[in-house]
Amino acid sequence: MVIFTGLKFHCKRAVWKRQGTKAFSEEPSHRNMLRKLLSLFVLCCLGLLEQTPPVASTGAVPSATRTLVWGSGLEANIVLPARFFYIQTVDSSGRNFTSSPGENTFEVKIVSPVEQFTRIWVQVLDRRDGSFLVRYRMYASYTDLHVHILLNDKHVAKSPFILKGPVYHDGCDCPQPSGSVWKKDMQCPVSFPQIEQDLALFPRVDPDRNALEVPQRFGQRQSLCHYTIKDNKVYIKTLGEHVGFRIFMDAFLLSLTRKVRVPDLEFFVNLGDWPLEKRRPSERLHPIFSWCGSNDTRDVVMPTYDLTESVLETMGRVSLDMMSVQANTGPPWREKNATAFWRGRDSRKERLELVKLARAHPDMVDAAFTNFFFFKHDESLYGPLVKHVSFFDFFKYKYQINIDGTVAAYRLPYLLAGDSVVLKQDSGYYEHFYSQLRPWEHYIPIRADLADLQEKIHWAREQDEEARKIAVAGQQFARNHLMGDSIFCYYYKLFQEYAKLQVTEPKVREGMEQVEQPTDDLFPCSCHRTPQVSIKTQANLSITAYREENGGRNVCTRDCILALILLQSTLNWAVSVLITGDSDI
């Protein structure tokens, strides 16, 4: 279910008959599909679509009073690009549902008692295991919000949930001054194993020395960003030729510093695929922050740019994120195809061997290339290319093969979040969370050369219930450790611990430029955490007073612009239907 609150329309997924990233238009023409989508949008804006009643499940009946609701999205002081909370369906006897009671069972509305409109996009995602993930993206900040959760027009649990005081949207530059308070609000873990392991190699960090030596070692052949965070402002100097990927790090640092005051620190970020620091621990190491680590290098590992962007752009520019996967896990386990599945490009020799194995044993493995880049001369041997497959359609298969590309395969978080079991290749590369994964608990391990892949598939078929339990455990791990709040916690903890190691003062170096926070003329906000913090010229006005003063025409203008923003997000989803991408993740 998709609800735009405050624009006075409700567009249910039942209208679109949406599954995964596919819109099942009755007309085969892409042009007709987009025309229908635009027509639907206009109808929604005019408020002409009637809301359909929830569909009751067969058998047990959900109970409004016993159903459980919880999550950080019900807390006013937790700011994320897309907030979220959970609903666990419970029947009148107190038993949890373990299958879907119907995707339109619950209705969620988020309103402000002091605002006529709330510019909030709400989605209720059916996880098909009896629980729902409710996510919402705010396009403005509010004073008080009421979250109404309804089942057949009855309030569920303690609904309406009230978020009191200022509730800031993601674009509001209003950092929590205390890192300790922020971590407590976010319920961040006390520690992260990978951070402790990485920083143990650096008992002292000298920003002055690094500022001289790192550019000399890496600046000519590699692409890096030299960052300084000073007084919660971000400064950068790029090194190397190919620095386009700085946009991912820039965006995250700006988002984090809007939410919490980050300690002063100075560090280098590697923009390339491969980790850089190859010296032995006994030699003079330089701390290089990278999106991937390896057993042969000593880089400080961060969450990948792919996962980081999906957090920032949830309900925005991306269609694949850790929340959307949970609502698109394919058919139930017993109905999935008992074949190991893989799609991707030719970025590693073992991927060629996998495709060769699939040709020899199509009853066990369905693997094919969607693009040739590295081994174009071998296309005649390992082709032909096949069409791209929606990532959500991967979960029609019980067994998902995760095999390295140029480095670690960045698709693993999304594979774990589905309800298929992952067969993960032994690898010398790792992401920030690999050290917390356990073979045979969260995934089925396979050898680096894939020599035992057939054996492991045979085991999974013979031990179907055990394989299903591993799939569920992997899914639960992803839900607990790889959601947006966990990613923000990881970055903050990394920066905090790294800052403690600095023995000289971080500086804004010669040649650095400030990375400016984006301005928001449509939805300005006032920060009430500290006195005299001005976000816009009207910051001395309360949120409500500002809107009352501007009134009528400006409200209409902002609503029209918001409608276009929401249309852009919808069209991004539509384009993903027409061009279903499959990158080397």
Query: What is the spatial distance between Cα 353 and Cα 440, in angstroms, rounded to a whole number?
Result: 24
For residues 166 and 17, state if they share a domain.
Answer: yes
CA angle, 403 then 405 then 407, to 5°: 105
How much is the pLDDT for 521? 83
For residues 427 and 455, state if they share a domain.
Answer: yes
What is the DSSP pairing of strand 365-371 with strand 337-345? parallel
CATH of the domain at 337: 3.40.50.2000
* Mean pLDDT for the stretch of residues 360-373: 91
Chain Cα centroid distance, residue 383: 33
Check whether 28 has a pLDDT greater than 60. no
Percentage above 90 pLDDT, the chain: 71
Check whether 585 has a pLDDT greater than 80. no
How much is the pLDDT for 282? 85
Whole-Å CA distances, 222 to 285, 377, 431: 17, 28, 20
Element (H, E) at 465: helix 464-481
Q: Give the chain's mean pLDDT.
A: 85
Domains of the chain: total:
3
* Mean pLDDT for the stretch of residues 499-528: 94
- The whole domain housing 290 covers 195-313+488-515
Query: What is the spatial distance between Cα 424 and Cα 442, in angstroms, rounded to a whole number?
Result: 10
Query: What is the spatial distance between Cα 353 and Cα 531, in angstroms, rounded to a whole number?
Result: 62
For residues 461 and 350, state if they share a domain.
Answer: yes
How much is the pLDDT for 516? 97
Residue 210's Cβ-side half-sphere holds a number of Cα atoms within 13 Å equal to: 25
Query: What is the spatial distance between Cα 264 and Cα 159, in angstroms, rounded to a whole number?
Result: 41
Whole-Å CA distances, 578 to 290, 361, 484: 33, 31, 28
Structural domain contains residue 520: no
Query: What is the spatial distance between Cα 120 and Cα 283, in angstroms, rounded to a whole number?
Result: 53
* Mean pLDDT for the stretch of residues 59-74: 96
Q: Give the pLDDT confidence of 169-197 residue by residue, as tens digits.
A: 999 999 999 999 999 999 999 999 999 99
Element (H, E) at 228: strand 224-230
Check whether 26 has a pLDDT greater than 90. no
Which of 73-77, 116-120, 139-143, 231-235 is predicted with the least confidence, judged by mean pLDDT? Answer: 116-120
Choose from 20-24, 44-48, 477-481 the range with maximum mean pLDDT: 477-481
How much is the pLDDT for 299? 98
For residues 293 and 334, state if they share a domain.
Answer: no
Structural domain contains residue 367: yes
Q: Which residues contact 146 (CB under 8 A, 6 or more apart)?
A: 110, 111, 112, 113, 160, 161, 162, 163
Query: What is the spatial distance between Cα 407 and Cα 364, in angstroms, rounded to a whole number?
Result: 26
Query: What is the spatial distance between Cα 34 and Cα 25, in angstroms, rounded to a whole number?
Result: 9
How much is the pLDDT for 420? 98
pLDDT confidence band for 242 (50 / 70 / 90): confident
For residues 23 and 154, state if they share a domain.
Answer: yes
How much is the pLDDT for 564? 56
Give the number of residues written for the chain.
585
Tell me the pTM: 0.83
Percentage above 70 pLDDT, the chain: 79
For residues 56 and 102, state if they share a domain.
Answer: yes
For residues 477 and 510, state if they share a domain.
Answer: no
For residues 328 and 473, state if they share a domain.
Answer: yes
Q: Give the pLDDT confidence of 68-87 residue by residue, as tens digits.
A: 999 999 999 999 999 999 99
For residues 132 and 202, state if they share a domain.
Answer: no
The amino acid at residue 13 is: R
Query: What is the spatial distance between Cα 47 and Cα 35, in angstroms, rounded to a whole number?
Result: 18
Check whether 139 has a pLDDT greater than 80. yes
CATH of the domain at 570: 2.60.40.10
For residues 157 and 13, state if they share a domain.
Answer: yes
Whole-Å CA distances, 127 to 53, 109, 331, 385: 20, 19, 11, 33
How much is the pLDDT for 248? 96
Element (H, E) at 560: helix 543-578
